[in-house]
Structure formats: structure tokens, C-alpha cells
Structure 1
């Protein structure tokens, strides 16, 4: 559908307030519904402006670096790569660009980029990764020359490992880095909630990346959220310890 330029709106984006989702996040369904609809009803003009500022930072950069005290230290080259924005609006410019630009996920609020192939080097650590109703604790992904070379965890890896091992070509390529920019999706303290769009969330996607404008159509996807991460572009902070600071830095100049 993206290739034909068909506009798509997908409601949920991993946060639709079902009983199962609420239980997974350690919330009651009413609280999750409140968070969800507040995110859907965000100020889209402000979201567009934030997305454009972050997009320009990434588009002008050559390398991303992700760090976290838990062991995350990952470098990814992005020079010349297109940067996408999911801001809840499909503008005439989005329609002209086509592809991933014609899709909207609600609640919206993401900026994403696919890496220069074979450039990802280092480690990404997710303290908790939800997969098929289970929890992987301390998921550790190691990359060399753009490919996932090792996947370990403290516990709960067995089901994810079977899924990954059964996948075909492209499953081991770092597909995208995603930054959340929605200020109205707030993660409650002491909950287990994660999501793409909360402002300051950093996500790495391994495998399929057609959604981000890439060309990896692998049926596999390992997509850990990395809350609390710092993300730098050429030494300029975009996210600092899980807080989106790109707009603050821009406003201060």
C-alpha cells in the first residue's frame, strides 16, 4: 500500500488500552486508556514543529551515538539517510514523498532514520523486553559492521531465540533508530510501560524496516525500547537520560 501512495492510519501503536496491555505494563485499563487518549489528542501543530526540529538535527548529522549506564554504547552512521517523522499528519509533502511518509500511527510522535548499511557498531541493552506474553530480562544485543552478532539475556530469552533463529535473510541487520517526541504520553513512575512515542524514548529495530522507509522486508523484528538512553548527533544531545532535549537546546541558541 505504501508503494501505491495509499494513506494509512493505524490506531494503537502498541498502547491500545486492552486488559492484556494494561496488565503487561503494571497499570489498570482505565489508567492506560487515559494515557492513550491524551497522547492521541496531543497538540499536532506543536508535534509537527518538534518533529521538524529533530528531523533537521538528524538530517544534518553523520553519526548517532546511544549510551546508557546499563551497558548500551552503540554508534550508527546516518550521513545522507532520509529521516522520517510520524507527527499524526499526512501533509501534501508527505503524499509527494510517498512510501513510509503516507502512514500515520496514533498516538503519533516519532522521528526515525535507517542507518548507513554495515555501520552499526557496539551494544544495545534493554532492561526489559516484552515478547509473546513473556518478559526477557536484560536483553543484550551486540552489533558489528551493521549486523547483530550476539544476543544474550539474564533470563527469558528462549522463546525470542527460537523466533529469531527461524527467521530468514535480513533478520540480523540493524534496521532503524526511532526517537519518541510526544510530550503527552507520560510513562507512570514505577510502571513497566514502554512505547514508541513518549518524548525521549529511544528504540532500535533489528530486521524489517519498510515502515521506516528502508528496504529490509525480513519477516523478523527484534525491537527493544531503551528508556533512559542518551542519544547524541555529532556530540549534540537529542535525548539526555531519557528526556528529549533537542528542542530545549534549539530554543536556547
Structure 2
């Protein structure tokens, strides 16, 4: 396994990605299994003359809080936290989940209630331009769930985290430049995908791991790490056709062979070879524009070399694309929903206007 200098990574996140400044207040989130990384991030924040506030969670606590709390309380918004957000400048969150399978049997109705309770909080991040960075974290339990050797998962993840952000920016910019000013997008694959939608007049965003002044001016206040995608919000009523996704995971449940049909931007039919009921249950207990196309993204991180079901890395695979359902207001869309679900497709062919951007998973730009 490659050695990881958590202090170096923390400095990169704090100084390059978040650009933390003196006297800012930065909330740092994580779990017991990655607290060594939380410590390094907090230290880096403090060395910048800013003030870290640490918030911790765990699989077992999250499970108990959902199972043991009445649904009416789960969907209540914590008003104190809305007030707290007035006093902070950013949030850096490291994935607190060690083993998502612990949540697999939880009531989707109660999870939906919890999402509704957080809705005003998510809106406030956007309204007040509160910067955020969400960071994944590889664990042995996740590797077992995804069916990958832990060493391979660990190495791929940290290589993707340490990719050259300047090169990522240039790669993303070249694709974004080809997409800007275009209208129609046509996606096909040898597994049955044939989908059309419009991106006319929609903002094209490069997720290169850095939140700069231009991002903040455009309302792009957050990013995920590992970074590496170009994305936008399609016109919400424009998607027509079928799309095939190899796999998705939800609460530790593997959903395989997903075929979804869109009409006027909405999913009207979903079939899956395995656990299709899980997919439909997620939609059933989500609210708002949960079944509308919300995002189109193109992966550009050269260090992610295989799809395993971990969306945070899968959607960054060079030459992959992802289609998301639901919420998209933070990047220029109009969907309002408690759900945002990225679904990844491998080896697509993507045409934007009269240009082929990707051909069978290979970038043409």
C-alpha cells in the first residue's frame, strides 16, 4: 500500500482547495476511523490563523439516531444549526461512514424524513455562499462491500486525491469550452443507451478540486474530493430516451443492470437485473423533483482506473459519464428535491452539437 502523508493532503485541502484565510471559522467533520486526518485538517486550518470546529459522527450513531428517533423529530430542521451557519465560513467533511452496510436495513421512510429536515440547511449553504469540500475515505469494509482488494482501493483513492490539480483544470477547461454555447447532447452506448437532452444556456462547471473566486461569483461553493469532472444541469424537461447503468450502491445494497426510460425529463420506467425494488423505494420516499434529470457529468481524473460502485470515485473515471436525478439548484438548475443521486455509465459515446466529445469511453478533445 502506498504511504499517505495526511499532513500534506490536509494542507492541500485547506490551502489549495478551500483557500482558508485568517480569522475564518471552518467546521471539520469526520468519523472515529479517520480522526487522524481530521486532526491534520484542523491543525492546518489553525496554522492559517483560522479556527476549526470539529464535529464527529459514526455508522453506529447514525443508525441509532434513525432507528430510535420518531419520524416527526427526524424531519424537524435544527434551527440552532441554521443560526450557527451565520458564524462559519466553510465546512470540510471527511466521509464518516466506515461500513455503509450497517445502514442497509434502515427504513427508507425515516431516511427520507431526515433528508427533509436537512433541506433548509442545504439551501442556506447555497444562499450564503458557504464553501464546502466533501472528502471520501477508503476502508476495508467498503472494499469488501464493493468487491475490490483493500490495497487496490486504498492506492486508487489516494492517487486520485493526489492528482495534479492544474492538469485537471486544463483537461476540464478544454472539454467545457467545447460544450459552452451548445444545445443538444446525444448519449449512446453498446448496452442500449440512447438518450437526448438539452444544455442550452446552462452553466458548464469544471470540478478541479479548487474553489476559486470565479466559482464563488457563479455560486459554485462546493466540491468533492477526489475531484475531476465537468458537469452541468440539463434543461429539466428535455431528456428523452433510454439509459443503461451497470451498477449503483445504496445503503450497502448493490443495484445491477439498471435501465431507465425518460420522457419530458422524467423517469417513467425503471428496470434492474438485481435490487430494482431498492431503486424504486429510494424514489418513492424522496420528495420534490426526485425523478427528473438533474445533472450531466463527464469524468476527467486519470488516476481512477476502475468502477467499483463507490460513486465518489466512479464518476471521476476518465471517459465515464454520470446522470443524476433530483436536486440541482446549486449549479444552475431548477429542480428542488431531497434527492441527488449520481448514476455512472462506462464507455459511452457523447455527442454535443456536431462534436464527438467521447467515443466508447475515450476522450476525443
Query: Normalising TM by the smaller chain, what interval?
Result: 0.7 to 0.9
CA change 1:19–1:106 in 2 (3 A) is: same
Tell me the equivalent position of 1:149. 268
Structure 1 residue 242: Cα displacement: 1.6
Tell me the equivalent position of 1:196. 315
Tell me the equivalent position of 1:8. 132
Write the distance in 2 (CA, Å) between the matches of 1:198 and 1:87: 13
For residues 158-237 of structure 1, the aligned pairs below 5 Å read 158-187=277-306, 195-237=314-356
- Between Structure 1 and Structure 2, whose CA radius of gyration is higher? 2
Structure 1 residue 243: Cα displacement: 2.1
- The answer for unaligned runs of 5 or more in structure 1 is 247-253
Write the distance in 2 (CA, Å) between the matches of 1:134 and 1:159: 8
Tell me the equivalent position of 1:37. 158
For residues 110-149 of structure 1, the aligned pairs below 5 Å read 110-149=229-268
Write the distance in 2 (CA, Å) between the matches of 1:155 and 1:10: 29
RMSD: 1.8
CA change 1:162–1:193 in 2 (3 A) is: closer
The answer to whether the aligner puts 1:102 opposite 2:226 as a matched pair is no
Structure 1 residue 193: Cα displacement: 6.3
For residues 32-111 of structure 1, the aligned pairs below 5 Å read 32-97=153-218, 99=219, 101-111=220-230
Structure 1 residue 136: Cα displacement: 1.8
Write the distance in 2 (CA, Å) between the matches of 1:111 and 1:137: 25
Tell me the equivalent position of 1:22. 143
Write the distance in 2 (CA, Å) between the matches of 1:151 and 1:179: 23
Query: Following superposition, which runs of at least 4 residues in structure 1 exceed 4 angstroms of deviation?
Result: 191-194
Write the distance in 1 (CA, Å) between the matches of 2:204 and 2:228: 14
- Native 8 Å contact 1:2 1:103 kept in 2: no
- 2:344 alignment partner, SS class: coil
Structure 1 residue 210: Cα displacement: 3.6
1:194-228 deviation line (CA, Å, top 9, x unaligned): 61111111000011224543232311244321011
Write the distance in 1 (CA, Å) between the matches of 2:309 and 2:290: 27
Tell me the equivalent position of 1:244. 363
CA change 1:6–1:135 in 2 (3 A) is: same
- Native 8 Å contact 1:77 1:119 kept in 2: yes
Write the distance in 1 (CA, Å) between the matches of 2:179 and 2:161: 25
Write the distance in 1 (CA, Å) between the matches of 2:331 and 2:350: 18
Write the distance in 2 (CA, Å) between the matches of 1:5 and 1:222: 22
CA change 1:211–1:25 in 2 (3 A) is: farther
Write the distance in 1 (CA, Å) between the matches of 2:241 and 2:343: 15
Tell me the equivalent position of 2:107. none
- Compare relative contact order (CA 8 Å, sep 6+) and give the higher one, 1 or 2: 1
Structure 1 residue 192: Cα displacement: 6.1
- The answer for unaligned runs of 5 or more in structure 2 is 1-124
Write the distance in 2 (CA, Å) between the matches of 1:138 and 1:221: 20
Structure 1 residue 159: Cα displacement: 1.9
* Count of aligned pairs between the two proteins: 239
Write the distance in 1 (CA, Å) between the matches of 2:159 and 2:222: 21
With normalisation by structure 1, the TM-score equals 0.88
Structure 1 residue 168: Cα displacement: 2.3
CA change 1:167–1:226 in 2 (3 A) is: same
- Native 8 Å contact 1:24 1:192 kept in 2: no
- 2:302 alignment partner, SS class: coil
Moved more, 143-152 or 126-135: 126-135
- 2:234 alignment partner, SS class: coil
CA change 1:222–1:11 in 2 (3 A) is: closer
- 1:2 alignment partner, SS class: helix
Structure 1 residue 138: Cα displacement: 1.4
- Native 8 Å contact 1:201 1:242 kept in 2: yes
**Structure with the bigger percentage of helix:** 2
